Amino acid sequence: MSRATKRKHVVRELLEERVQPGEGQSVVRVLGTPGNNLHEVETAEGTRFLASMPPRFRRHIWIKRGDFLLVDPILEGSKVKAEISLVLLPPHVRSLQRQGLW
């Protein structure tokens, strides 16, 4: 699969996915990007930690400061405590607000 085709499929999957936070998942805000596919994030309670980006998003989806993410916890991590499962776009945020989950 070419790079452009893979990007097209990843973006389409991201846009069409229904957002419903699962068990243990949380919504976080990106504070910065220290590098090496790691992102410093903050929960609604104010807890800061690092979240890793899975290989399927690398080089296809860009994350910047202020974006919102849906993350899965990693239990064995000391610094990296979560893995990104979904980048929340503005339509996803509006959907969560309408459902009362925001």
pLDDT of residue 14: 65
- Kindly provide the residue ranges of all beta strands, DSSP E only, lying in the chain, ordered along the sequence: 26-35, 38-42, 48-52, 68-73, 80-88
CA distances from 15 to 6, 36, 40, 86, 100 (A): 14, 25, 24, 10, 20
Which of the pair, 92 or 10, is modelled with greater confidence? 92
pLDDT of residue 93: 86
Per residue in 20-52, pLDDT tens? 788 899 999 999 999 899 999 999 999 999 999
Give the pTM: 0.81
Per residue in 47-69, pLDDT tens? 999 999 999 888 878 899 999 99
Alpha-carbon span 60 to 2, nearest angstrom: 12
The CATH number of 3-99 is 2.40.50.140
Q: Delimit the domains of the chain by residue range.
A: 3-99
- The DSSP symbol for 53 reads P
